[in-house]
Structure 1
Amino acid sequence: MEPVGEHEGRGRLSAPRLRPGTPERAGLDAGELRRMVREVRARTGGGRPWAAGAVVVAGRGPVLAVQEAAGWAVRYAAYDEVSDTAVELPPGERVPMTVDTPFDLASLTKLFTSVAAVQQIERGTLGIDARVGAYLPDFTAARRHGVTVRQLLTHTSGLRPELPLYDCADDAQRLAVLRAERPVGAPGTYRYSDLNMLLLQHVLERLTGRPLDVLVRDGITRPLGMTATGFGPHPDAAATEDQRRPWAKADRGMLRGEVHDENAWALGGVAGHAGLFSTGRDLAVFCRTLLAGGSHGPARILGPDFVDLLLTPPGLGFALDRPYFMGELAGRGAAGHTGFTGTSLVLDRATDTYLVLLANTVHPRRPDPDHTPRAQAATRLARAVRAIRAPGPGGPADLRES
């Protein structure tokens, strides 16, 4: 059977492809977008910046109005825990950030796992309210407690946030631990958990007979032309952390191009909750595809009804209306996610806008979480829409592909 995503628009109208353009062409206020870029740049400067570097991409409709990079993809050689300071590389050895720099997406990977699952739901091979045990009878705890596919996608299974799979001796032990893991919370109660996406990965792989990286490639990234997106290793990626105990869960040294998440690393780099690398522009294509009802150019990865299933409350894999990182875009059905390494995206169907902010905030060591820059950038985008007067030439009513 042909995978969803390899249907190149047969019998369907193609959706306009994403293309670079001016803020005015996108129906956005250029002044607000300049302020957004200036604020992101300011967050990458100084001795203890929010991030060593960042890429910000934003647009409306099929128009990509902002593509900017700031700071460094690689700035530090190590972290000195004695002096609590970052050890800077000599200027000639640093790597500047560019708009084409790939990033470790961390938990943005969950969005791709969710889309892969909804593709199977659209095909009728996966039941959204089916019990996980029907597909994974050897996962005895999930089967005994009646965990459903919908609960995995909505983080309402009751599973704890994570397990120390990185401490297991081998893959057999890791699998045994997952099979035995039972919910610790009441089913139906929201509790964000990486384990939901790990179980969903096993469901999809058992159901299709194909590994997750192949499902994502064949069903999402290849048909959409997202050539810079895939599971690692990715040696040209922005550096992440000088990963060492006690602040991390493994001793791996300075990471660049290897997945940061310790469990994803222990699982070989391909995991339902983490492991993908991508660029700002590729993620803009992903956002635009969902805003266009599942199509981009001649490619279709989902039908509009199934995009609705993903993005309407409570949301499947996507977080909805979260002001802490969506700023003033939140409140009307905006959807998105954040990643531990400093990544985030938000798409707003009410205004047909999207924002991708990628930053290596954990370089050279993970800080206390600070979502303020994400919320600030999203608010700038929301205000860029509101600042536009009635539609005219080049405005929101004029966003069709010419």
Structure 2
Amino acid sequence: MTYDIDRIEALLDEGVRDKVYPGAVWAVGDANGIRAQGIAGVLDPDEPDVPMRADTVFDAASLTKILAVWSCIGALWEDGALDLDQPLGTFWPEVSGQPLDAVTTRQLLTHTAGLPLRAQLKNLYGTDKEDIRRGVLHERLHRPPGEAVEYTDRAALILGYLAERLSGQTLDHLATVRIWQPLGMDSTRFGPLPDQIADRCAPTELDRDTDTHLKGTAHDFSARLLGGVCGIAGAFTVLDDLAAFLRYMLDTSTAPQRAGFGPGWTATSLTIQTGTLAPVRGLFWHTAPGTAPVDDVWVHYGFTGTGTWISPRQGRWAALLTNKLYYTRDRQPLADVRNAFRGLAFSPGGSAPM
């Protein structure tokens, strides 16, 4: 397997110069490990002499949905504790007789459950965690289940609650014990981070209340409202931990121990699960923009500027971590960089590496 490292570095350096992000950390590899990696830019523009580092800690944002929720739901599915097509109301008393009664886990994982499109937790339910939980689980649907594919943070929030219900554990403990510890992901954890770890964290958006950039505290408001732990966001991670996670998805024998999910869950998730609906989705993962089904390249992003790609057919994975929110919420400049990065990391036509 070969990569055009010079072109990847030039692409990411250009993103720094254009102020798409202050800095970036990236890697590409296969089941055997990292094949190429690098850094670009600085950790914090206010400290221009401090470069980005390979062990910089990033606010994973919606990658939490993969690292914690998707993986833990997969563990429960492989345990036989969860049927993806069983209506939630038939085994979850909290939603029995409520709008979620007939919704299935598969519909939540494919964003076809008909949930409200925005979280708006504080506006709708206040600040008490139990009031928020009750409100989310009893909220009316935006449309009938199975009618459309519409991305919403609420799907992951509900699945996080479901994982806690079925396991009898909090989401952070469940993810740590069933996923992160077995894979050796020792730097992945929910925030807020202790000061000694936050010092290595890439700062994100300016907090108007404190007039400082968030660092070690989740950018996502819902995660902060819920104390740092929820299915939507809140996890922090480093490049090496993502590499371990993605390698395991390609080959479970690469890990120190077997994690809660295995090849059955990965294979099911990285296939189209939305039938004739568009845009097509697997289970939480979706096909990478600009690719065809034959390419078999799947992706999940985080709003802070994170992203992971994987292709079982090509036997490859890639990760790109940035703190683009330091500058802007504008999505398009980073989208262009991401798509170009993906194009350099994966082969068109889905050819396997040599």
Q: State the TM bucket, normalised to the shorter chain.
A: 0.7 to 0.9
- Provide the residue aligned with 1:110 in structure 2: 65
Indicate if the aligned counterparts of 2:99 and 2:139 stay in contact, CA closer than 8 A. Answer: no
In the TM superposition, what are the counterparts of 1:12-27 in structure 2 within 5 Å? Answer: 27=1
In the superposition, relative to structure 1, how do residues 180 and 64 fare at CA in structure 2: closer, same or farther (>3 Å)? Answer: same
Q: Does 1:207 find its partner at 2:166?
A: yes
AA partner of residue 305 (structure 1):
G
Deviation of residue 306 (structure 1)? 2.3
Count the aligned residue pairs.
335
Following the alignment from structure 2 to structure 1, what is the Cα–Cα distance between the partners of residues 53 and 100?
50
Deviation track 1:136-194 (CA, whole Å, cap 9, x = no partner) reads 32235755651111111111100022221134232233123213212112311211111
- Provide the residue aligned with 2:143 in structure 1: 185
Deviation track 1:39-85 (CA, whole Å, cap 9, x = no partner) reads 1122112xx5111110111113313122211112222xxxxxxxxxx
Deviation of residue 313 (structure 1)? 1.5
Deviation of residue 331 (structure 1)? 4.1
- Provide the residue aligned with 1:317 in structure 2: 284
Deviation track 1:242-275 (CA, whole Å, cap 9, x = no partner) reads 034xxxxx88752001000001110111111211
Q: TM-score, normalised by structure 2?
A: 0.87
AA partner of residue 297 (structure 2):
A
- Provide the residue aligned with 1:83 in structure 2: none
- Provide the residue aligned with 1:222 in structure 2: 181
- Provide the residue aligned with 1:65 in structure 2: 35
Indicate if the aligned counterparts of 1:213 and 1:270 stay in contact, CA closer than 8 A. Answer: yes
AA partner of residue 172 (structure 1):
E
Deviation track 1:84-112 (CA, whole Å, cap 9, x = no partner) reads xxxxx2646xx421010011111111112
Indicate if the aligned counterparts of 1:233 and 1:257 stay in contact, CA closer than 8 A. Answer: yes
Which of 319, 324, 343 lines up with 1:356 in the alignment? 319
In the TM superposition, what are the counterparts of 1:2-401 in structure 2 within 5 Å? Answer: 27-29=1-3, 32-45=4-17, 48-75=18-45, 89=46, 91=48, 95-112=50-67, 113-139=69-95, 142=98, 145-167=101-123, 168-188=126-146, 189-234=148-193, 235=198, 236-244=200-208, 253-292=212-251, 294-301=252-259, 302-314=261-273, 315-319=282-286, 321-323=287-289, 327=290, 331-370=294-333, 371-383=335-347, 396=354
In structure 1, the residue corresponding to 2:28 is in which secondary structure? strand
Indicate if the aligned counterparts of 1:104 and 1:276 stay in contact, CA closer than 8 A. Answer: yes
Indicate if the aligned counterparts of 2:305 and 2:323 stay in contact, CA closer than 8 A. Answer: yes
In structure 1, the residue corresponding to 2:295 is in which secondary structure? coil
In structure 2, the residue corresponding to 1:337 is in which secondary structure? strand
Indicate if the aligned counterparts of 1:329 and 1:379 stay in contact, CA closer than 8 A. Answer: no
Indicate if the aligned counterparts of 1:62 and 1:288 stay in contact, CA closer than 8 A. Answer: yes
Deviation of residue 299 (structure 1)? 1.9
In the superposition, relative to structure 1, how do residues 166 and 255 fare at CA in structure 2: closer, same or farther (>3 Å)? Answer: farther
In structure 2, the residue corresponding to 1:69 is in which secondary structure? strand
Deviation of residue 295 (structure 1)? 3.8
- Aligned Cα RMSD in Å? 2.4
AA partner of residue 230 (structure 1):
R
Identity among equivalent positions (%) equals: 33
Following the alignment from structure 2 to structure 1, what is the Cα–Cα distance between the partners of residues 53 and 213?
20
Q: TM-score, normalised by structure 1?
A: 0.77
Unaligned runs of 5+ in 1: 1-26, 76-88, 245-249, 389-394, 397-402
AA partner of residue 199 (structure 1):
I
- Provide the residue aligned with 1:13 in structure 2: none
Following the alignment from structure 1 to structure 2, what is the Cα–Cα distance between the partners of residues 208 and 387?
40
Following the alignment from structure 1 to structure 2, what is the Cα–Cα distance between the partners of residues 368 and 243?
19
Following the alignment from structure 1 to structure 2, what is the Cα–Cα distance between the partners of residues 308 and 155?
18
Unaligned runs of 5+ in 2: 274-281
In the superposition, relative to structure 1, how do residues 90 and 295 fare at CA in structure 2: closer, same or farther (>3 Å)? Answer: closer
In structure 2, the residue corresponding to 1:338 is in which secondary structure? strand
